[in-house]
Amino acid sequence: MNKEMITGVQLQCCHCGEDCATDKIRYDDKIFCCEGCRMVYQLINKNNLCNYYSLNEKPGINQRVEVRKDKFAFLDNEKIQEKLISYRDENQLRATFYLPQMHCSSCLYLLENLHKIDKGIISCKVNFTRKEVDVVIDLSSSNLRKAAELLASIGYEPYISLNDLNEKRAPIDRSMIFQLGVAGFCFGNIMLMSFPEYLGVDASEEGLRSIFRWANMFLALPVLLYSSLPFYQSSWKSLKHKFLNIDAPIALAIIITFIRSAYEVISGTGGGYFDSMTGIVFFMLAGRLIQDKTYRQLSFERDYTSYFPLAVSVLKQGKEIPTTLPDIKAGDTMLIHHEELIPADGILSKGKAFIDYSFVTGESLPVLKEVGEIVYAGGKQTEGNIEIFVIKEVAQSYLTKLWDQQEMKSAEQKKGISFVHLLSRYFTYMVFAIATITAIYWLLHDRSHLWPAVTSVFIIACPCALLLSNTFTNGNILRILGRNHFYLRSPATIEDIAKIDHIVFDKTGTLTSAHEQEITYCGEELDELQHSEVAALAERSTHPLSKALSKHLGKTKMEVEHFKETTGKGIEAYINDTFIKIGSADFVGANINDEQNDTRVYVKADKKIMGYFRFSNHYRNAVVPLMKELRRQYQLSVVSGDNASEKNNLRKMLGETPAILFNQKPEDKLEYIKRLQKKGQRVMMIGDGLNDAGALKQSDVGIAVAEQTNNFTPACDAIIEAKQLKCLAQFIRVCKANKNIIIASFVLSILYNIIGLAFAVQGNLSPLVAAVLMPSSSLSILLITFGSSTLLAKWMKLS
């Protein structure tokens, strides 16, 4: 089987064409982004899914990834099963797994055919938007644990966190879809049965016209009482807070339109305006549904429980017992495997720990811990297995205290009122003024026109056009940004982004890649043989720096003899009768004359110091041009929990003016944001770790950077894929253009209102005029909003 994982090169999948930003899969000299794409490629040749993921274990046929035997042992626990299983009987069970690796049609195809790979799976239904699979398992030949192991073995390891134990994920609210369906059905039928009114049938057919009128009124009732509920609820909430939002006058217009129309039908004086009422409700619900759909798929309110695993191994009487985190007590001994998270504070009792705390503290390099030292929750073990004696329960650990600090929980900035609500308020005042003037005029001249004229004013001049322009523009902008992997929490975030004037960046994991290092060699030049000898020695160590150096130098097949590793200092061995040592300056005996703020690995061949490899942060592609563009319009700052080794590089990128702060604790970052806001600045914070959580929450706009948007990110207003950070300036410009598009479409709707009001104030607004003006206004707004925002995206070269 010609299969291997490769890293470090920006390539495209030969099947789906997507960029392979992290690990790639190579098969038959072709590059694939996921197991799904590789599977489809092989199916084209073999056309047999069972051959691809063979149920037997013959070498060279089975394509599955090896999964540690006890990795999902906690799923045998009945208490955990109760939380994850949605249905169970004697023969089968149904469970939902979250698979963040799912990203293309090939993934969907593979997962939908899971039953062909393993006969213990009855069916597998994919929710691509939420990256979930609903698996039905045959209990006679499989179970929940085996299903999870099967998914992991084909490259789709289920992400099961502590949050899944605490509460089940809220189901999708489909009420607005049903409300839209009811409104659409009623609107279409009312339009059809309103043609007698539009065409003006003869008096001989009055009976038929009367039937149609009554039918229209009954069809309008579900729209009034059910489909319009979102507008009633929103307006009632705003009025309770003594604030007039845009939904209040719309709710009033819906009610007045129905009352006026029902009066005309019952009194036999006309057919009313049921078509206009139901049409407007339908279009407004459609706009809101478009808005909701763009950001429903992601969670913007995540806490540490989404970061923690559901269970870890606890050693009891020499056996590994899978234990849920709430059941871990002080005095227990945890067994933490390679690349596993440490969920509780404790004392290292066995093994050597190289712990990656980058997500918690921002420190870019792993921290060495010796036996007897305290290790804190939130770090990830990067080298082998270790045992930790628990001294604090999960709920009392450093990480949970960091999250639960009062300043973190209360770090919320009051969001400004949308300009749409302010515009609607003044527009509503104008409508009431026009209605009052109209009422006074007809009260003095002809009271029979008073009721028709006043109600017509409210019908024709409701701010539904403003709401339509707002919802459809926001919806399309959210769709465009989401298609470019920039996901906003809500439409209000668009306005907040447009107002910012200061951008604060975290460094590690945001401007730099947390898992890549830039390596340069300084000193006496190494010849080809010496280069290979250093590579062979580095390859034998599992230390993160050694692994990075080995990756940088490449693989070699040289024989290494008498290998020895001194924890936290370096490694040494004989290679081709040459004694090679690499490690710290003290380890190899190098004299340091300059001040060392960076990370170095020194090289010694026999008794001669050859030089050293300097490790520095790997800045993401296009960070330099991004900073150059942003600093023309915005004030910039960098706050980092890392040391000051990158100060010179950052200063070159940002210039002399911006503030660059290092060794910043989470509370320091939060206080820095508060100081900027006290100066009247509107702050955007961009970070990636738990140490940024308070600052992200406090800022006017908090953006979390993620290598994959469905990986864990702190609570935020937006999530951006790391590879799209280069487009940040364009995203901000799109958000700024949003307001101009809404105002332009609103101005056009005013023209329609002026025409309609000319009929309304005279008291002779006919159903035909209303039926023409209302839909034409709505359709014009749809064309302007969608057209303008789509053209803008193309002009900015956003797909």
In this predicted structure, the answer to whether residue 27 has a pLDDT above a threshold of 90 is no
The reported pLDDT for the residue numbered 435 is 80
The reported pLDDT for the residue numbered 51 is 47
The reported pLDDT for the residue numbered 672 is 92
Kindly list the distances between the CA atom of residue 207 and the CA atoms of 200, 217, 657, in Å, as whole numbers in the listed order. Answer: 13, 16, 81
CB 352 within 8 A of CB 373: no
Least confident residue range of 134-143, 610-619, 706-715, 731-740: 706-715
In this predicted structure, the answer to whether residue 441 has a pLDDT above a threshold of 60 is yes
Distance CA 369, CA 5 (A): 30
Q: Is residue 283 very low, low, confident or very high in pLDDT (cuts 50, 70, 90)?
A: confident
Q: Residue 321 maps to which CATH number?
A: 2.70.150.10
Residues 372 and 505 grouped into a single domain:
no
Kindly list the distances between the CA atom of residue 52 and the CA atoms of 29, 48, 110, 117, in Å, as whole numbers in the listed order. Answer: 17, 7, 11, 9
CB 374 within 8 A of CB 659: no
Residues 326 and 280 grouped into a single domain:
no
Residues 246 and 338 grouped into a single domain:
no
For 288, what's the count of Cα atoms within 13 Å in the CB-facing half-sphere? 20
The reported pLDDT for the residue numbered 1 is 35
Residues 214 and 353 grouped into a single domain:
no
Distance CA 637, CA 699 (A): 13
Residues 155 and 201 grouped into a single domain:
no
Question: Quick one: DSSP state of residue 309?
Answer: B
Q: Residue 134 maps to which CATH number?
A: 3.30.70.100
Collapsing DSSP states into helix, strand and coil, what is residue 695?
helix
Residues 152 and 235 grouped into a single domain:
no
Pairing, β 121-127 against β 311-316:
unpaired
Distance CA 746, CA 294 (A): 23
Least confident residue range of 222-231, 272-281, 406-415: 406-415
Position 459, amino acid = I
In this predicted structure, the answer to whether residue 221 has a pLDDT above a threshold of 70 is yes
Least confident residue range of 268-272, 541-545, 579-583, 756-760: 756-760
The reported pLDDT for the residue numbered 9 is 42
List residues bridging with 523 in a β-sheet: 611
Residues 273 and 179 grouped into a single domain:
yes
Least confident residue range of 277-281, 297-301, 328-332, 487-491: 297-301
Nearest to 280 by CA among 474, 456, 475, 459: 459
Distance CA 654, CA 688 (A): 20
Let me know how many helices (H) and strands (E) the chain has, helices first: 29, 31
Collapsing DSSP states into helix, strand and coil, what is residue 571?
strand
The reported pLDDT for the residue numbered 60 is 36
Helices (H), 572-646: 585-588, 623-630
The reported pLDDT for the residue numbered 302 is 58
Average pLDDT, the chain: 78
Residues 95 and 150 grouped into a single domain:
yes
With a CB cutoff of 8 Å and minimum separation 6, the contacts of 290 are 471, 472, 475, 476, 478, 479
Residues 360 and 390 grouped into a single domain:
yes
Pairing, β 578-583 against β 570-575:
antiparallel
The reported pLDDT for the residue numbered 406 is 41
Q: Which element (helix H / strand E) includes 254? A: helix 247-267
In this predicted structure, the answer to whether residue 3 has a pLDDT above a threshold of 70 is no
- The DSSP annotation for 433-460 comes to HHHHHHHHHHHHH-GGGHHHHHHHHHHH
CB 388 within 8 A of CB 409: no
The reported pLDDT for the residue numbered 665 is 81
Kindly list the distances between the CA atom of residue 789 and the CA atoms of 68, 287, 288, 743, 792, in Å, as whole numbers in the listed order. Answer: 49, 15, 17, 13, 5
Query: Taking residues 76-80, what's their average pLDDT?
Result: 79
Nearest to 573 by CA among 558, 586, 584, 555: 558
In this predicted structure, the answer to whether residue 410 has a pLDDT above a threshold of 80 is no
For the chain, what is the domain count?
A: 5
In this predicted structure, the answer to whether residue 505 has a pLDDT above a threshold of 70 is yes
Q: Is the dihedral of CA 288, 294, 297, 301 positive or negative?
A: negative
* Angle of CA points 28, 33, 39, to nearest 5°: 55
Helices (H), 93-174: 105-112, 114-117, 144-153, 162-166
The reported pLDDT for the residue numbered 528 is 86
Distance CA 785, CA 554 (A): 53
Q: How many CB atoms lie within 10 A of CB 76?
A: 12
Pairing, β 718-721 against β 486-488:
antiparallel
Distance CA 797, CA 799 (A): 6
Q: What percent of the chain has pLDDT over 70?
A: 76
**Both tokens assigned to 119:** 């006969």
Pairing, β 683-687 against β 701-706:
parallel
Domain assignment present for residue 615? The answer is no
**Residue 239's domain spans which residues?**
174-294
Nearest to 101 by CA among 154, 28, 163: 154
Domain assignment present for residue 185? The answer is yes
CB 425 within 8 A of CB 250: no
Distance CA 476, CA 474 (A): 6
**Contacts made by residues 223-228, CB under 8 angstroms, sequence distance 24+:** 223/182, 223/183, 223/186, 223/187, 223/277, 223/278, 223/281, 224/254, 224/255, 224/258, 224/277, 226/179, 226/182, 227/179, 227/180, 227/182, 227/183, 227/186, 227/278, 227/281, 227/282, 227/285, 228/254, 228/281
Nearest to 320 by CA among 72, 140, 561: 72
| pLDDT tens per residue across span 752-776 | 777 766 766 666 655 556 556 666 6
CB 279 within 8 A of CB 774: yes
Query: Taking residues 619-637, what's their average pLDDT?
Result: 87
Torsion of CA 796, 797, 798, 799, to 10 degrees: 150
Least confident residue range of 376-380, 528-532, 708-712: 708-712
Domain assignment present for residue 288? The answer is yes
Pairing, β 502-505 against β 635-639:
parallel
Residues 261 and 185 grouped into a single domain:
yes
CB 742 within 8 A of CB 706: no
Q: What percent of the chain has pLDDT over 90?
A: 9
Distance CA 607, CA 612 (A): 15
Question: Domain ends where: 294, 320, 345?
Answer: 294
Question: Domain ends where: 678, 711, 731?
Answer: 731
CB 476 within 8 A of CB 488: no
Nearest to 378 by CA among 336, 328, 344: 344
Query: Taking residues 623-648, what's their average pLDDT?
Result: 86
Domain assignment present for residue 196? The answer is yes
The span from the first CA to the last CA of the chain, in angstroms, equals 38
Query: Taking residues 80-106, what's their average pLDDT?
Result: 81
Query: Taking residues 10-25, what's their average pLDDT?
Result: 57
The reported pLDDT for the residue numbered 52 is 47
Range with top average pLDDT, 46-60, 154-168, 656-670 = 656-670
Q: Is residue 39 very low, low, confident or very high in pLDDT (cuts 50, 70, 90)?
A: low
Domain assignment present for residue 659? The answer is yes
The reported pLDDT for the residue numbered 370 is 80
Domain assignment present for residue 588? The answer is no
For 745, what's the count of Cα atoms within 13 Å in the CB-facing half-sphere? 33
Residues 149 and 95 grouped into a single domain:
yes
Task: Label residue 720 left, alpha or beta by phi (over 0 means left) and psi (-120 to 50 means alpha).
Answer: beta
Beta strands in 466-598 (DSSP E): 486-488, 502-505, 512-523, 561-566, 570-575, 578-583
Q: Is residue 794 very low, low, confident or very high in pLDDT (cuts 50, 70, 90)?
A: confident
The reported pLDDT for the residue numbered 676 is 93
Distance CA 222, CA 479 (A): 30
Sheet (strand 24-27) strand order: 3-6, 24-27, 30-32
Domain assignment present for residue 459? The answer is no
Domain assignment present for residue 672? The answer is yes
CB 247 within 8 A of CB 211: no
**Contacts made by residues 283-287, CB under 8 angstroms, sequence distance 24+:** 283/464, 283/468, 283/778, 283/782, 284/231, 284/250, 284/464, 284/467, 284/468, 284/471, 285/176, 285/179, 285/180, 285/183, 285/227, 285/230, 286/180, 287/467, 287/468, 287/470, 287/471, 287/472, 287/475
Distance CA 551, CA 538 (A): 9
Question: Domain ends where: 711, 731, 751?
Answer: 731
Owner of token pair 């020695």: 537
Residues 189 and 283 grouped into a single domain:
yes
